[in-house]
A and B are shown apart, each in its own frame.
Chain A
């Protein structure tokens, strides 16, 4: 069974540009969550999508957005990149319902220069 797949694995962007990251969840999983990990702030929740609807949102500016497609694949977009957006971006997928576990992808390492 394939795990959570994130693409690309590494990305270098310039300040002011925008970037789109992709996440393919485990087959059958309808919940996809995104996290940002930086050395200073640790792992922080960005948002969660379930059945193409954003269900939860973390405390990030509006430059961070996402969407989910009918096949549960998800993308997140960061516009007007800042140096502080350099981070490991992680995606996790899970079945819906309590008593379930979330499985993480290997992440996309974004460097903003």
Chain B
């Protein structure tokens, strides 16, 4: 499975957009990019995923570069409740789809 690289931490002002980068330069053609977040030792929460096209849902937008070697998760209007560890994961579209390999993630702190 492809490995991902994320910044260790990021600060964001409440009400502003938070842009979380992720590098996955060894991603294969059949691997999806998934984003999860974990708030203070709760179970990880699914945010969004994509293969090659940009995706948007009620929580966030996912921008994947054309070469698929990196992506950016965008939280359009960060709130204090968005403070969490954000994980970028590359997931294979085979019989291993139940296996998620988590890295260290990015600790995002939203400040008033």
Contact = CB atoms under 8 A, between A and B. Distances in A.
Nearest to A3: B43
A94 B93 CA distance: 13
B84 to A, nearest CB: 13
B68 interface: no
User: What does DSSP make chain A's interface, helix, strand, loop or mixed?
Assistant: strand
B102 A99 contact: no
A-B CB proximity, top 8 nearest: A98-B93, A104-B43, A48-B98, A43-B102, A31-B98, A101-B46, A33-B98, A56-B99
Nearest to A50: B98
B102 A42 contact: yes
A37 B40 CA distance: 12
Contact of A106 (B36, B42, B99, B102): B42
A33 B99 contact: yes
A4 B98 contact: no
Contact of B98 (A55, A88, A105, A107): A55
B51 interface: yes
B80 interface: no
A102 interface: yes
A101 B62 CA distance: 15
B99 A48 contact: yes
Contacts of A64: none
A58 B96 CA distance: 11
B96 A42 contact: no
